[in-house]
Amino acid sequence: MRTGTVFILDAGGDCSFHEPIIDRHELRGPIYVRFDLNSLTSPVLVVRCFEPVFRLMGMRTHSVERVSNARRILVIRNDDKIGDLILFTPFLRELRRNAKDAEITVLIHPAIEPLLRHCPYVDHVLTYARWTPRAFGQVRRMFHEIAWARKFLWPKRFDIALVTRSHHRVYREGALAFLSGAPVRAAVCSDQTTVGKDEPDEALFYNRVTPSQPDDHEVQRNLSLLPFAGGAVCETKPELWLTDEERSEAELVAPADPERPTRVAMMAGSSVPGRRWPAERFARVAAWMTGEYGWQVVLIGSSADAGAAKRVEEACPNGVVNLTGRTSLRQTMAVLAECRLYVGNDTGPMHMAAALGVPVVEISCHPEGGDLFNERSPARFGPFGVPAWVARPPATDGCRDFCHPGEEGEAHCILGVTVEDVIGLVREAATALSLAM
């Protein structure tokens, strides 16, 4: 039988000695070494390797404590989806208010870049799609990010990099913040995390981390980084930006119906199965709105939502305009801006509607009495800054704090929301907003 001594270099970069079962004096044979390639991506190793490089390049010669004193600012939101980025727009506005003369660059995923077109608060928008190859994925991704940062981030010589993410995502984007070369890397963390010896190694990527309050909405969590970085917050409402040409194009995409002057947006799909209210129930609500109030219902969404929208359209052919899968992201924004109300699931377009000033009737999968600050909770990720009515399912024995969908993530708690629940909230909204005919 072959025997030997085994040395293992673990993912944290530490070398550990594993004792053989037999007595050390009886040990014969070769010494085996198992090297974990993922250890090359260890934050400890990355920091130890690149901190001297940045110092030699003169990128650590000064430290800016206040955003108002920064000349070049990098803001990283690379893991965002539509709703996340929209809830982040108040931060951009308030950052510009506090750093009037700074050159502000935002790093986001390319899929949501259209949302920041015509944003008056940023100077540059960089896009980066995180790359994860199958073979040696973690190592190759790190080297890819190093090469990308060297090409696109190092020449800009940022004074400060800001990351306003929650829980684990604050660390996922930490590598890009560190590799930017900025001498100050500041982040806000929602779970009261601060940089310390007991924190994950990824915390080494930052030298400023502040906790947010546990009872904050995501908008307020994002903004909590500004006072920490020496800034002040004056306004909290999310916003989006449309040109006059884009607003005019909305009329061509969805022509107004003189007999149905009140237009209501409806989103019957969702990228998350657990947040999908049945299309058949949406159809009943649409039929009621078109019949009771004479509204025009505009179905929106991506091509992935086309099946649900088609079922609504087939069940309610009168007064429904189906634009699902037929408009770009910015065309959808323009159409939403012409609507008087949004009725639908907890999705990115819901936040788009709110940012454009459109009141919302949200159908949520989060149970009544559940954890207020779970990622599915309207208290944390609900529409912000506009009148909103939320239909929520009753809590069940297995889903007290939040919805526990099955292994496939299928609709579960949201099925507890009835058609009557939603119609009741739409009626309340129509009365409050003077939309009833």
pLDDT at 318: 86
pTM: 0.86
**Residue 239 belongs to some domain of the structure:** no
Domain ends where: 228, 261, 294? 228
**Residue 253 belongs to some domain of the structure:** yes
**Residue 236 belongs to some domain of the structure:** no
pLDDT at 422: 97
Do 179 and 324 lie in one domain? The reply is: no
Do 349 and 215 lie in one domain? The reply is: no
Q: Show Cβ contacts of residue 158 under 8 Å, excluding neighbours closer than 6 positions.
A: 72, 73, 74, 105, 180, 181, 182
Mean pLDDT by 10 residues, the chain (437 residues): 40 37 45 57 84 89 84 91 94 96 96 95 94 73 90 95 70 85 84 45 78 80 87 94 93 86 94 90 96 95 93 90 95 96 96 98 90 83 95 85 70 90 97 87
Do 264 and 195 lie in one domain? The reply is: no
Do 90 and 214 lie in one domain? The reply is: yes
pLDDT at 409: 67
Do 64 and 203 lie in one domain? The reply is: yes
**Residue 16 belongs to some domain of the structure:** yes
* Number of domains into which the chain is organized: 3
Half-sphere exposure of 168 (CA within 13 A, CB side): 1
**Residue 235 belongs to some domain of the structure:** no
Do 28 and 49 lie in one domain? The reply is: no
Range of the domain at 401: 244-432
DSSP string, 48-113: HHHHHHHHHTTTTS----SGGG-SEEEEEETT--HHHHHHHHHHHHHHHHH-TTSEEEEEE-GGGG
Do 103 and 143 lie in one domain? The reply is: yes
Do 282 and 325 lie in one domain? The reply is: yes
Q: Give residue-wise pLDDT tens across range 264-282.
A: 999 998 888 888 999 999 9
pLDDT at 411: 78
Domain ends where: 196, 228, 260? 228
Do 134 and 261 lie in one domain? The reply is: no
Do 86 and 192 lie in one domain? The reply is: yes
Q: Give residue-wise pLDDT tens across range 385-430.
A: 999 999 999 988 778 787 877 556 677 889 999 999 999 999 999 9
Do 145 and 292 lie in one domain? The reply is: no
**Residue 237 belongs to some domain of the structure:** no
pLDDT at 26: 47
242/27 Cα distance (integer angstroms): 74
**Residue 238 belongs to some domain of the structure:** no
**Residue 371 belongs to some domain of the structure:** yes
Do 208 and 298 lie in one domain? The reply is: no
pLDDT at 425: 97
CA dihedral 133, 328, 411, 417 (to 10 degrees): 150
Residue 353: give its domain's CATH number: 3.40.50.2000
